Amino acid sequence: MIFFANIIIDISQAKLDKTFQYRIPEELLSGIHPGVKVSVPFGSGNRTIHGYVLEVTDKPEFDTEKIKEILSVEEEGVEISGQLIALAAWMRKNYGGTMNQALKTVIPVKQKEKLKVRRSLKLLLSQEEAAEVLSSYEKKHSRARARLLRELMEHPEIDYDIVIHKLNITSAVIKALEGQKVLSVEIRQVYRNPVAHLKSRGYDIVLNGFQREAVNEVLSHMEEGQGFTYLLHGVTGSGKTEVYMELIAHVISRGKAAIMLIPEIALTYQTVMRFYDRFGERVSILNSKMSPGERYDQFLRAKQGEIDIMIGPRSALFTPFANLGLIIIDEEHENSYKSETVPRYHARETAIKRGEMAGASVVLGSATPSLESYYRAKQGEFKLLTLKQRVKEKPLPICHIVDLREELKAGNRSILSRKLKELMEERLRKKQQIMLFLNRRGISGFVSCRSCGEVIKCPHCDVSLSLHRNNKLVCHYCGYETKAPKICPLCSSKYISGFKAGTQKIEELVGGCFPKARILRMDFDTTRKKGSYEAILSAFSAGEADILIGTQMIVKGHDFPNVTLVGILAADMSMYVSDYTAGERTFQLLTQAAGRAGRGSLPGEVVIQTYNPGHYAIKTAQKQDYEAFYQEEITYRKMMHYPPVYHMLLVIFTSEEESAAIQASIRFSNVIKKAAIENLQMIGPAGAPVAKVKDIYRQVIYLKHPEYESLVALKDRMELFIKEKQDMEQVGITFDFDPAGGI
Ligand code: ADP
Ligand code: ZN
Ligand code: ZN
């Protein structure tokens, strides 16, 4: 058989789909696969140029007589571009989609934007002068000016973009201070030498025993030239970030580079500055607000070796470091590491693959590891590193559980339990701060009984039903439907209803209880404007409010030393969302919300309000006992054949014509049945949880199998079916492996 290779000539162009086909000479066949660099004759003059192999196929695209041959395989080591192309090919294979979609994910496209200069702010005053000016700002209540000046007194030179994006200072404020000769805006050249900078700051943290042990284990493997995947488990404040930094310092001292992924919401000013303080100019950050051009610039700097450390969300994983030594994924349990667009890759898996290609170590860190990672660590696939206690030996907060059914019995129908209200009064009196946390995930509306706590569930799936319009209850897993009951099927109470309290409503209620308290609210509505998220956090941090009410957004990010009370208003709201990860999400949210209390010198208290005080996710969160939680949860996953014990593949069929989507899903279910894969479980086809979005109908099939590879093989088969039939243009088909949450 004759094979052909589709080759891309210039990956810096936007038209990544422009490929050229060449014939593969037999003697080269074994060395040709996606990512390999080859020499080919090009154009009418047949000059020799380089290209990268994207795909190998036995199907010629045009007259085979006219297809030229590949000249040779370039042996000179795998180039970074080749590695990223190979990674894209792996992603396409494992997550579905087209090669072009995969390439666009890993290779940033060059834009015709002019290079932006990097600017920084430099303090022009001595500390004494600055202190004087600061007190004058404070007297005039010029909060933004004071905030900026205070930061400049800490760090005499700060990156302009960081000030704008992370410190939430407007360019007008900067101009004003520039006008007053407090600061100057400079084309950035400082911190060229991180060592000199280090000296000026002094880096004096000495790792404790647990941290040292974790660092040493990774380093000893590195020295032996082995890259493993590690799971670093340690409660918040146990010093994980210091461990990351120590590892990074080692890696760059060996002339290698490091990537650190961090959820965007946790990429706060404080975190960024910690890295700048230690590594200076050699660090760069990525964020989603950057234009493709800015992103490209950052990648270019990495490629040219101007930086060694890239910090950013998911996409930072594709930073083209030529000599990558380490990938860190902080808060590895976060859902944001799973892409929601095709290819629907998971950054954890993809990082492990990239690490393998580059010979780099991968460190996953979390206070509440994903079930998946902990399971794999227990299986010996990842190496488990544990930080057993908080660095400063601060005790964990005292945690009270309030049974909301008892509150109702006692005649309290308020959103605040008596215990929480009492503690709030006390905190307000002592001028300490309070955070009230509402679990937003549940707001989509499960139906529960306010008397006995009963939640209406699907009879087939062990997940709660969601309230849809017309009082219909729908299972988001199997499509089961029923009418919402008017009285509780368990206790016949008429207090049964969809639970829909939003943050705004809670703000009103709390304001009614405590008319004198200053309240800030943080949710989807109040943070839609650019910079408002940071603005609310810094206002609360500066003591401009007594109570912060919010969704899970407030769980992460800043440390508020003056917060000594955290109230979790309805802890179980996330427990009944129609999703097998509900218990895991609840545990994570509760543990992290509780971790917000008592970060400073004052001890903290937590009140968890729940209808379900006996649930293991709540009981184990109260004790911050991850191991106990894991044991319960993994037993449930084993029993139900859910990930990580089994793997899932969700196939989504979309079409403007409902019948077309349904027909396609039925045809595919037949293809799947014919494949006769042992141990495969198929659920559906059925209507998707949200069966119609913007007039597009959606059908789904869920597949479960213990082996990921079997699902990949099945996906390949379905892709082949699509190619061969060629009569399904009307229907979009998307694959989603181990879907995180609903669709
Ligand atoms: P985590 O990332 O696990 O939440 P951090 O690394 O942020 O923990 O550490 C929490 C706090 O303790 C930080 O202020 C950090 O600077 C400090 N810290 C960490 N390790 C040490 C140490 N060995 N000695 C002194 N302070 C430390
Ligand atoms: Zn009831
Ligand atoms: Zn169901």
User: Does the pLDDT at position 356 exceed 70?
Assistant: yes
Looking at the CA of residue 238, tell me the nearest atom of ligand 1.
Answer: 3
Atom 18 (ligand 1) nearest CA: 239
Summarize pLDDT for 526-582 with one digit per residue, the tens: 666 666 777 888 888 888 899 998 877 776 656 788 899 999 887 775 555 557 888
Question: Reading across the β-sheet that carries 157-159, which strands appear in turn?
Answer: 157-159, 119-123, 183-187
Parallel, antiparallel or unpaired: strands 47-57 and 37-42 = antiparallel
CB 155 within 8 A of CB 147: no
Ligand closest to the CA atom of residue 392: 1
Whether ligand 1 lies within 6 angstroms of the CB of 240 is answered as yes
Surface-to-core class of residue 122, CB atoms within 10 Å of its CB (0-12 exposed, 13-18 middle, 19+ buried): middle
Question: Reading across the β-sheet that carries 361-366, which strands appear in turn?
Answer: 283-285, 309-312, 257-261, 324-330, 361-366, 229-234, 383-387
Ligand closest to the CA atom of residue 492: 2
Looking at the CA of residue 274, tell me the nearest atom of ligand 1.
Answer: 16
CB 190 within 8 A of CB 118: no
State which of 9-13, 516-520, 552-556 shows the largest mean pLDDT.
Answer: 516-520
Parallel, antiparallel or unpaired: strands 547-550 and 433-437 = parallel
Confidence of residue 225 (pLDDT cuts 50, 70, 90): confident
Q: What is the pLDDT of residue 469?
A: 60
What DSSP line would sit under 354-397, residue for residue?
HHHHHT-EEEEEESS--HHHHHHHHTTSSEEEEE-S-TT-PPPP
- Do the domains 209-392 and 394-443+499-637 sit in the same CATH topology, yes or no? yes
Whether ligand 1 lies within 6 angstroms of the CB of 239 is answered as yes
Q: From the CA of 457, how far away is ligand 2's center (Å)?
A: 13
Amino acid at the residue 565: L
Mean pLDDT of 479-502: 79
Closest Cα partner for 261 from 307, 215, 222, 314? Answer: 314
Ligand closest to the CA atom of residue 457: 3
Q: Which superfamily does CATH assign the domain made up of 209-392 to?
A: P-loop containing nucleotide triphosphate hydrolases (3.40.50.300)
Q: From the CA of 407, how far away is ligand 2's center (Å)?
A: 15
Strand runs labelled E in 461-611: 466-468, 472-474, 481-483, 496-498, 519-522, 547-550, 563-568, 605-610
Parallel, antiparallel or unpaired: strands 309-312 and 283-285 = parallel
Q: From the CA of 272, how far away is ligand 1's center (Å)?
A: 15
Confidence of residue 191 (pLDDT cuts 50, 70, 90): very low
User: Does the pLDDT at position 741 exceed 80?
Assistant: no
With a CB cutoff of 8 Å and minimum separation 6, the contacts of 471 are 483, 484
Q: Which superfamily does CATH assign the domain made up of 647-737 to?
A: Ribosomal protein S10 (3.30.70.600)
Looking at the CA of residue 244, tell me the nearest atom of ligand 1.
Answer: 6
Whether ligand 1 lies within 6 angstroms of the CB of 211 is answered as yes
Fold (CATH) for 394-443+499-637: Rossmann fold (3.40.50)
Whether ligand 1 lies within 6 angstroms of the CB of 236 is answered as yes
Q: From the CA of 452, how far away is ligand 2's center (Å)?
A: 4
Whether ligand 1 lies within 6 angstroms of the CB of 391 is answered as yes
Q: From the CA of 636, how far away is ligand 3's center (Å)?
A: 17
Summarize pLDDT for 653-664 with one digit per residue, the tens: 988 888 899 999
Domain map (residue ranges) of the chain: 4-106, 117-189, 209-392, 394-443+499-637, 647-737
Confidence of residue 198 (pLDDT cuts 50, 70, 90): very low
Q: Which of 25-29, 132-136, 258-262 has the lowest mean pLDDT?
A: 25-29
The full length of the chain comes to: 743
User: Does the pLDDT at position 68 exceed 80?
Assistant: yes
Tell me the three state secondary structure of residue 434. Answer: strand
Atom 20 (ligand 1) nearest CA: 239
Confidence of residue 190 (pLDDT cuts 50, 70, 90): very low
With a CB cutoff of 8 Å and minimum separation 6, the contacts of 555 are 437, 589, 592, 593, 596
Q: Which of 216-225, 394-403, 498-507, 709-718 has the lowest mean pLDDT?
A: 498-507
Whether ligand 1 lies within 6 angstroms of the CB of 592 is answered as no
Atom 8 (ligand 1) nearest CA: 239
Please state which CATH number belongs to domain 4-106: 3.40.1440.60
Ligand closest to the CA atom of residue 260: 1
Mean pLDDT of 711-725: 87
User: Does the pLDDT at position 230 exceed 50?
Assistant: yes
Closest Cα partner for 596 from 607, 585, 582, 612? Answer: 607
Summarize pLDDT for 457-472 with one digit per residue, the tens: 877 655 678 776 667 7
Ligand closest to the CA atom of residue 408: 2
User: Does the pLDDT at position 675 exceed 50?
Assistant: yes
Distance CA 343, CA 529 (A): 29
Tell me the three-class secondary structure of 304-335, residue by residue.
CCCCCEEEECHHHHHCCCCCEEEEEEECCCCH
Q: From the CA of 568, how far away is ligand 3's center (Å)?
A: 29
Q: From the CA of 131, how far away is ligand 1's center (Å)?
A: 28
Whether ligand 1 lies within 6 angstroms of the CB of 207 is answered as yes
The DSSP symbol for 410 reads T
Summarize pLDDT for 293-320 with one digit per residue, the tens: 777 778 888 888 888 999 999 999 999 9
Q: From the CA of 545, how far away is ligand 1's center (Å)?
A: 27
Whether ligand 1 lies within 6 angstroms of the CB of 556 is answered as no
Confidence of residue 431 (pLDDT cuts 50, 70, 90): very high
CB 440 within 8 A of CB 468: no
Q: What is the pLDDT of residue 161?
A: 78
Q: With b meaning 16 or more CB within 10 Å and e meaning fewer, what string describes 369-389?
A: bbbbbbbbbeeeebbbbebee
Looking at the CA of residue 245, tell me the nearest atom of ligand 1.
Answer: 6
Atom 6 (ligand 1) nearest CA: 239
Q: From the CA of 7, how far away is ligand 3's center (Å)?
A: 46
Tell me the three state secondary structure of residue 465. Answer: coil
What percent of the chain shows pLDDT beyond 90? 34
Whether ligand 1 lies within 6 angstroms of the CB of 234 is answered as yes
Confidence of residue 389 (pLDDT cuts 50, 70, 90): confident
Whether ligand 1 lies within 6 angstroms of the CB of 96 is answered as no
Whether ligand 1 lies within 6 angstroms of the CB of 131 is answered as no
Closest Cα partner for 655 from 730, 568, 743, 544? Answer: 730
Angle at which helix 171-179 crosses helix 143-154, to 10 degrees, equals 70
**Arithmetic mean of pLDDT over the chain:** 83
Ligand closest to the CA atom of residue 485: 2
Looking at the CA of residue 330, tell me the nearest atom of ligand 1.
Answer: 2
Q: From the CA of 5, how far away is ligand 2's center (Å)?
A: 65
Confidence of residue 166 (pLDDT cuts 50, 70, 90): confident
What DSSP line would sit under 635-667, residue for residue?
HHHHHHT-TTTSEEEEEEEEESSHHHHHHHHHH
